[in-house]
Structure 1
Amino acid sequence: MIASGVEEKSSTPFIHRKCKKDKNDNRREGMIVIAAVNLGTRYSSFAYTFRDELDKVREPSVPCNVIYKQWTSGSDAGFFSHKTPTCLLLNPAGNFDSFGYPAEEKYCALMNDNVHNGWKFFKHFKTILLNEKNLSKDMMIPDDQNTMFKAIDVFAFSLKFIKDELRKDLQKTGYDIKESEIQWVINIPAILNHRSRQFIRVAAEQAGMTRNQLEFALESEAAAVYVKEFMAAKQKVKADEQVLVPFPAGTQFMVLDLGGRSDRLVIAAIDLGTTYSGYAYTFKHELERERSAKDMCKVLSNNWQSGSSAGLISHKTPTSLLLTKDGEFDSFGYKAEKNYMDLVNGNKHIGWRFYRKFKMLLHKNDVLNKNTTIKDDQGNSYLALEIFAHSIRFLKTELIQALHRENVQPIFVETDIQWVITIPAIWDPKSKDFMRVAAEEAGIERDRLEFALEPEAASVYVKEMLVTRTTTDNEAEIVPFEAGTQYMVLDLGGGTIDVVVKEVREDRTLRELHHAFGNGLGGESVNKRFIEYFENAFGIKLMTEFRTNNAYRGLWLDFETEIEKQKRNFASGGIEQLKLNISSKFLELFENSCGKSLSDHCTSIEHLSSRRDKLNMHKDLIVKLFQPSIDSIIQFMRDVFDKKHLVGVSDIIMVGGFSQCKLITDKVKETFRGLNIVIPHDADLAVLKGAVIYRHWPEVIYSRRAPFSLGARFNRIWLDGDDVSKQFRNTDGEKMCMDYFSKFVTKDEEFASKDKATLEVYPICADTTVVPVEIFKSDEENPRYTTDPSCKSMGNPFNVDMSDLRGGMERKVHVTLTMGSTEIRVEGQQIPNGEVKKIQLNLLKD
C-alpha cells in the first residue's frame, strides 16, 4: 500500500509525497495536512490532521486523530483551554503585536500604566459579518478607543496569527511540511451571506492563504459530519446486552450550533406595562436566516380581544389583575376588568381583589422590599411581589399556549425559551431586582431571564427599519440608518418617559452617547391630572365619595376607562372637544350633594359644559392638562441637544403608546425643525420586538453610560482636609477615615459590554478574615463620603472572603463589578489565588 501521509520508516521521520496524476485530479489529493481555522466571535483556534490519518481503515469505535492546540492564559493560575479569546492588539503604528490571551493581558497592563493611548485593541469584531449590509474591503471599524481602522486588516492580522501558530505546531512534529501542502478550511456560520464570505476569503488571502488552498466549511454542517460518527445510538447484540454505535442509516438528527448567542429555540419578551401589557416572540432560526436590508425579522405578538360588545382587537391588554377572595388568580387584562365589573354590578365584589396600573410602584421607591404591599380597588393591602408574580405568570402561560398553537409542541419544552422582560431605563437596581424575584416566583428561572431596557430595545428595532432616504444612481430609496448616524429614542409609555441617545457604529452595533434618563410623566400622569381637575371643579369630597363608595364602584371604573379612551381619541388629533360619557347615578350624586344640576354648575366653569349624559371639555382645557408632560419631554430633549458632543444627532424616534399623541408629536416637530422625526407604525410594539432581537444579539449594544456613580463604603488612611467626624484610629494607632466613597464608575462614564471595574481592598487588621462591602450610588460625579445626601445604599452589605492570613496587612481582595449589562453583577476574590465568588446582591432589604 502506498502511503499518502506520514510514515515512520526509521527513527527519522519523513514524508512520502503523493504526486498528482493529471490536472483533473482533485487538488486536495496533493495535500499532506488538512487544517481548520475557527475565527469565532468570542474565541478562536485551529485543528489539523494528516491526510493518511483520514485515509486509515478503522473500527467505528476508533475516532480519527485530529490535533488541536491548548492555549494557556497568562494568569497566575495558568489555565489551559481549547481556544483563545478573539482579541487583537496592534501597536500605535498599526502593526501586529499580539492576539488572544497575550493581547488581553498586554492591553490591560498598558491601561493600568496609563500608556495605552494610540494602541489599537479589537474584540468581538466578527459580528460585523452577521449584521453589516454594506460590507466592503474599505469598511472601517472602531478599536477600543474609537479610532477607526480597516476591518479587512483586522481580520487578516487575526487569520495570519492563527495560521502562523498552526505552522509552528507542525514544525514541532519534525515533519518538513511546505505551505503548499496544507489544505486550509475556515469555519463560517451557515447564515453568512455571499458578501460576508467573500470578505473572509479576501482577508484569508491577505493573511497568506492562497485561493486554491482555501475552502469554507459551514459550522453546523461541519459539526454534523463529526457527530454522525459518535457512539450515540444503542444497538442490541444479545437479549440482555446493548452497545453504543454511530447513527445507523436513515437516522435524522438536528444540529444546533449555539455559538456565543442564546442556545434557546425561542426568544420571548414580556412587557408588563403601566397601562397595557403584552408579549412577543420569535424562533431562533428566524433570527438567523439570511434576509435583505428591507426584510425585517419576523417577530410575533398576540392580538387581544376586548370584552366589550364591539370586540375590539389590540396589540396589548390592560394591566389589570383580579384575584379571588382567597388570593388565588382569577384573570388578567380585559377579562379581569369584565369579571370584576360583573361582580360589582351583581354586588358580589366585596372581598375580591382587583388591581391595575400598579407598575408605577417600582418608580423611585426608596423603601421597596419583598414585604411592600399594594392596595386593591377596595383599599385592602396585599403583597406587591405576589401581584407582579401573578401577572408575569399569566403572560408567560399565554405565550407558551401561543407556541403550542404554532405546532412546535413535538420539539418544544419550556426550557427551550429564553425570556426577556422589558423595563424602564430609569429604574434603579432595586426595582430591577424586585422584578427578577417576581419573575422567578412566576416560574422563570434566573439563568433563562434577562432584562431589556425599554428605550434601548426600541433603538435596536428601529435602527434596522427603513427610516432614512438615500439616492443611488439618481434613484431615491428608503434604507436603514447608516453607520455614524446619531439618533434619539423617546419611549413615551403609560407610566414613564425614557430618553436614550445612540450612535450606529460601522459594525451595526450601538454606542450610547448619553445615559438613559426620564421621569414618571407618561400617559397615566395625564389621567391623574384629569382626576385632579375634576376634584377642583366638583369638589374633593364628592369625587372621593364617587371613587370609594362601593355603591359607585363599577361606575368609577367605567369613568376611569372613559377618560383613557377619550384621551386617546383626542390625542390622535382632529377633535375640538372631548366628550366624556357620565352615568345618571353620578348626575344624581352631584345634584344631591351640591343642590343643583351638573349642567348648571358647569356654566360658571370656563371650557367645561354638561348636557344630558355628556361632559364636554374644550380643546384648550385638554391641552392644559397635557402640557406638563409635553413641557417635560421638550425640556429633556433641549437638555440633550445643548450638549456639545450631541450636536450630530439627526433623527428622533418616538415609540410607546403615548407617542401616538398628536399634541406631543406636533410639538416635537415644531420645536426641532430640521431633524428627521420617525414614529413607527407599530410604535407600541417597538419595545417588545426590539427586546427579542436584542436578546438574540446582546452584543448589538456596544456600550452604555452609567446613570449614576457607583462606589463602595470603605475605610482609608486619613488625608488632610477629611471631615473630622469621620476620623478614627485602627489597632496600630494610625488615623483612619471612615465612610469613604470608593468609586467603581463615574456618572455618565462610558463602558463597553461586559466591561469590569475593580477595587483593591486591604485589611485594617492582620487577622481580618472577611471584608464587609456595601454598594452605594450617587447622582454626583465625585461624592466623597457614603453619608453624603446624594448617596443611597444599594442593599444589604455582603462579605468577601479574606481567610488566607499569609501576607498580613499586605493582603488584598478584588471587588469587581460587571458594568456593561442591564443589571449589576459582583464578584469577590482574594488575590492572587483565592476563589472567584459571584455575589448575589440583596437589593430588597426585608
Structure 2
Amino acid sequence: MLSHYSDFEKDPCKISSHNWTAASRGLVSLKTPTSILLNPQQEFESFGYEAEDRYTALANEDLHHEWFYFRRFKMMLHGSLGLKRDIMVKTFDNKKELPALKIFSMAIRYLKDNLLTTLNKSVEILADDIQWVLTVPAIWNDPAKQFMREAAQKAGIKEDNLLIALEPEAASMFCKYMPVEKGEHSFQSFQPGSKYMVLDCGGGTVDITVHQVQKDKTLIELYKASGGAWGGTQVDEAFRQLIVKIIGNPIFLKFCDENAADFVDMFREFELKKREFKGDGNKKVTIKVPVSLKETFEKETEETIQDALTQTAYSSKLTWTADKLRISGLLFATLFEIATGNIIEHVKKLLKEPAVKGTTNIIMVGGFSESHMIQAKVKEAFPNMNVIIPAEAGLSVLKGAVIFGHLPKAISARKAKYTYGLATMTKFVKGKHREDKKETIGNQVKCKDIFSVHVEKGETLELDKAQSERSYNPVEPEQKEIIFQFYITDSDDPMYVTDSGCTHIGKMVVKIPDTSGGLDRQVKVQLIFGGTELKVKAIIEKTNQEVTAKLQFLDKK
C-alpha cells in the first residue's frame, strides 16, 4: 500500500494497492499469504501466492524435499517474552530450520524491492525517500517489535525511515477517515468523548483496543491492548482436528509428509469455504479433499473411509466420497466455536472494566472479520451494541497503516500493558530487605535484585512524554557503562525482580565514558512509553550531558 503526501493532503483514503495473483486459482487479491520459498542453497525464490504455487509444483514432481518453504511464520513472535535474536523457525514440513531473522528480513526485502521496482517504472524513487510502516499486533511485546525493526533494517530500510504501527490502531485511523457503513452510523459521526472498541480479527491473532475521541480529534487508548491467538487459523486447526479424529494423527502426518502439494490445496479450498459460510445449519458444506488422503488411510488401515466414519460421532453429519467431503452446516459451525467463544468471552470481560463502560460501538476489522459467521456471532452476543463492519474490513489495517505513516501522532495516549522496571541495587536495610539479597561491594552493603518501577500497569502513557524518571549511580569508580536488566510484571507493586510473575525481557545499556567523577556520577534515566515502541534517554545530572542509552531486548542476559 502506498500514498503520496500530495494525495494525502487532498484525500487521506486515496491509497494505491498492489494486486497479487494466485495463478493456480485464477485469483487476484490485494493481500497475499505470509509464505516464502528458498531454494536448496537457502537463497530467496518467491513470496506469497507465488511461493505457494511454486512449492506445490515442486511437491507434485516430488522435488520439494531440499527446498525451504515457510508459511504463517509471523505467528512465532506472538507471546514470546523470551524472544532472542538467534531464534530459529521451522519449515512447513518441520524437517529443517533457519534463523527467523533471515526469513523475516527476506520477506520484508522482497516487499520493499517489489514496491521500488513498480514505482521506478514511472519515476526514480529511492528507499530513503519513503516513510516505511510495518504493522504488528498491539498485543505483541517489546522484544517482538524490536525483532521486526531489526529485520527491516537487515532488509535495507534505515532506522529513521521506519515506523511500527499497531494493527488495531491503524484500522481505527482508517475508519476515522472513511464512512464505515451505509446509513446513519459511521465513524465520522463519532463526537469528542465517544468511546468505541476496535475488534481486529486477523488470520493469527485477535487484537482488541478501546479508544476515545478527543476534542483535538486525536484518539486515546482507554484500556491496555489485549487479545489472543484466536484468529482464522484457529478455525483451520479445528478442521484439521476433525480430519484427525476420523483418520488418526499418524495417518494425517504421513499424508502431509508424502503429499505436501495436496495438503496446501486442501487448506486453500477450506479457506474459501470458511469465508463463504454464513452459519446456515440446514445447508451442507462441500469441500474438495485430495484423493490421496483417502488412499493413504485405506492403504495403511485396510479399511474404508466409510467404515472409519461409522466409528465416530460424525457419521450422521458428514459424508466422504472420493474427493468430496460433505459436512452438515451444524457441524461446520462448530469449527468456529473455540475462536468465537474466546473472542466473545474476552469482549464481555472488557466491557465490564470501569474505563470501558459506556462503550456502545464495536468496529470489526481484519480479514477474519469478513467471515459472516464471526459477524453473526458478535452481533448475537452483543445485541445492544452498534456493531460496525467497514466495507473494506480486511484492508483496514493496511490502509490505516499508510495513514499512520502520515500522522504518527494521531494516537495521543496509550495504556501500559505491564508494570515495567529495572533490576537495581540499593542500600541494604535490615528488617526491610531479605537477607539472601544482601551483597557487599567494597565497603558498601547493598540489596540486590530490587525492582525499580518506572511505569505501573494501566498507567496512562502520553505520546513522546517521559512517563518515568529515576536516578542511578555506578557501583564502581572506573565503571564506563551501566547495564540494567529490564523486567515486566502484572503485579502493581513488585519488590524484587525475582518475585513470582516477573519476567526478564532484555537489558538497557547506558554509556558513561568519563570516569573522573568516580562514584559521584548520577545518571538520570527516562523511559518514554507513549509511542508504539519503547524509547530511553539518559543524562549525566552534574553536566546535563545526554549520553548513549540503548534498549536491547534480543540479546541474551
Quick one: which of 375, 379, 404 aligns to 2:120? 404
Q: What is residue 795 of structure 1 aligned with on the other side?
A: 506
Shift of 1:686: 0.6
Shift of 1:576: 2.5
Residue 478 to residue 536, structure 1, CA distance change in 2 (3 Å): closer
Query: Is the contact between residue 486 and residue 502 of structure 1 (CA under 8 Å) also seen in structure 2?
Result: yes
Quick one: which of 643, 646, 649 aligns to 2:359? 649
Report whether the alignment pairs 1:582 with 2:286: no
Task: Summarize the alignment of residues 41-440 of structure 1 with structure 2, pairs less than 5 Å apart.
Answer: 280-289=1-10, 297-308=13-24, 310-378=25-93, 379-405=95-121, 407=122, 409-410=123-124, 412-440=125-153
- Residues 274-312 of structure 1: CA deviation (Å, up to 9, x unaligned): xxxxxx1100111223x6xxxx5311111222112x522
Residue 470 to residue 512, structure 1, CA distance change in 2 (3 Å): same
Query: Is the contact between residue 81 and residue 141 of structure 2 (CA under 8 Å) also seen in structure 1?
Result: no
Larger-Rg structure: 1
Taking every aligned residue pair, what percent have the same amino acid on both sides? 34
Task: Name the amino acid aligned to 1:324.
Answer: N
* Cα distance in 1, alignment partners of residues 279 and 28 from structure 2: 18
Query: Is the contact between residue 465 and residue 480 of structure 1 (CA under 8 Å) also seen in structure 2?
Result: no
Report whether the alignment pairs 1:727 with 2:438: yes
Q: Secondary structure at the match of 1:643?
A: coil
Shift of 1:843: 1.4
Shift of 1:703: 0.4
Query: Is the contact between residue 464 and residue 480 of structure 1 (CA under 8 Å) also seen in structure 2?
Result: no
Quick one: which of 542, 548, 565 aligns to 2:272? 565
* Cα distance in 2, alignment partners of residues 349 and 751 from structure 1: 50
Shift of 1:575: 7.4
* Cα distance in 2, alignment partners of residues 620 and 468 from structure 1: 30
Q: Secondary structure at the match of 2:347?
A: helix
Runs of 4+ displaced beyond 6 Å: 468-471, 572-575
* Cα distance in 1, alignment partners of residues 90 and 515 from structure 2: 51
- Residues 521-562 of structure 1: CA deviation (Å, up to 9, x unaligned): 21112211221222222111111111123xx22222222222
Report whether the alignment pairs 1:710 with 2:420: yes
Q: What is residue 348 of structure 2 aligned with on the other side?
A: 638
Q: Secondary structure at the match of 1:562?
A: helix
- Number of residue equivalences: 550
- Residues 737-767 of structure 1: CA deviation (Å, up to 9, x unaligned): 2100101101111011101121111344566
- Residues 462-515 of structure 1: CA deviation (Å, up to 9, x unaligned): 1232258999xxxx9994322111100011000111000000111110011011
- Residues 326-359 of structure 1: CA deviation (Å, up to 9, x unaligned): 1111111111111111111122222111111111
Quick one: which of 171, 174, 177 aligns to 1:464? 177
Query: Is the contact between residue 815 and residue 828 of structure 1 (CA under 8 Å) also seen in structure 2?
Result: yes
Q: Secondary structure at the match of 1:645?
A: coil
- Residues 593-617 of structure 1: CA deviation (Å, up to 9, x unaligned): 2222212322343222212321122
* Cα distance in 2, alignment partners of residues 759 and 586 from structure 1: 62
Query: Is the contact between residue 583 and residue 613 of structure 1 (CA under 8 Å) also seen in structure 2?
Result: yes
Query: Is the contact between residue 423 and residue 487 of structure 2 (CA under 8 Å) also seen in structure 1?
Result: yes
Report whether the alignment pairs 1:448 with 2:155: no
Q: Secondary structure at the match of 1:623?
A: helix
Shift of 1:823: 1.1
Task: Summarize the alignment of residues 609-758 of structure 1 with structure 2, pairs less than 5 Å apart.
Answer: 609-719=319-429, 720-734=431-445, 736-756=446-466, 757-758=468-469
* Cα distance in 2, alignment partners of residues 477 and 494 from structure 1: 25
* Cα distance in 2, alignment partners of residues 431 and 387 from structure 1: 15
Report whether the alignment pairs 1:523 with 2:232: yes
* Cα distance in 2, alignment partners of residues 470 and 664 from structure 1: 22
- Residues 812-832 of structure 1: CA deviation (Å, up to 9, x unaligned): 111111111111111222213
Query: Is the contact between residue 467 and residue 678 of structure 1 (CA under 8 Å) also seen in structure 2?
Result: yes
* Cα distance in 2, alignment partners of residues 400 and 323 from structure 1: 22
TM-score by length of structure 1 reads 0.62
Q: What is residue 486 of structure 1 aligned with on the other side?
A: 195
Q: What is residue 779 of structure 1 aligned with on the other side?
A: 490
Query: Is the contact between residue 89 and residue 97 of structure 2 (CA under 8 Å) also seen in structure 1?
Result: yes
Give structure 1 stretches of 5+ with no counterpart: 1-279
* Cα distance in 2, alignment partners of residues 711 and 589 from structure 1: 55
* Cα distance in 1, alignment partners of residues 548 and 113 from structure 2: 31
Q: What is residue 593 of structure 1 aligned with on the other side?
A: 300
Query: Is the contact between residue 494 and residue 524 of structure 1 (CA under 8 Å) also seen in structure 2?
Result: yes
- Residues 665-700 of structure 1: CA deviation (Å, up to 9, x unaligned): 112112222221111111111111111111211121
Shift of 1:574: 8.2
The RMSD of aligned alpha carbons is: 2.3
* Cα distance in 1, alignment partners of residues 19 and 336 from structure 2: 29
Q: Secondary structure at the match of 1:649?
A: coil
Give structure 2 stretches of 5+ with no counterpart: none
Query: Is the contact between residue 371 and residue 384 of structure 1 (CA under 8 Å) also seen in structure 2?
Result: yes
Query: Is the contact between residue 488 and residue 500 of structure 1 (CA under 8 Å) also seen in structure 2?
Result: yes
TM-score by length of structure 2 reads 0.93
* Cα distance in 2, alignment partners of residues 664 and 477 from structure 1: 20
Shift of 1:517: 0.9
Query: RCO greater where, 1 or 2, for CA within 8 Å and sep 6 or more?
Result: 2
Query: Is the contact between residue 571 and residue 660 of structure 1 (CA under 8 Å) also seen in structure 2?
Result: no
Q: What is residue 181 of structure 1 aligned with on the other side?
A: none
Q: What is residue 121 of structure 1 aligned with on the other side?
A: none
Shift of 1:770: 3.9
Residue 484 to residue 332, structure 1, CA distance change in 2 (3 Å): same
Q: What is residue 262 of structure 2 aligned with on the other side?
A: 555
* Cα distance in 1, alignment partners of residues 256 and 129 from structure 2: 46
Query: Is the contact between residue 826 and residue 841 of structure 1 (CA under 8 Å) also seen in structure 2?
Result: yes
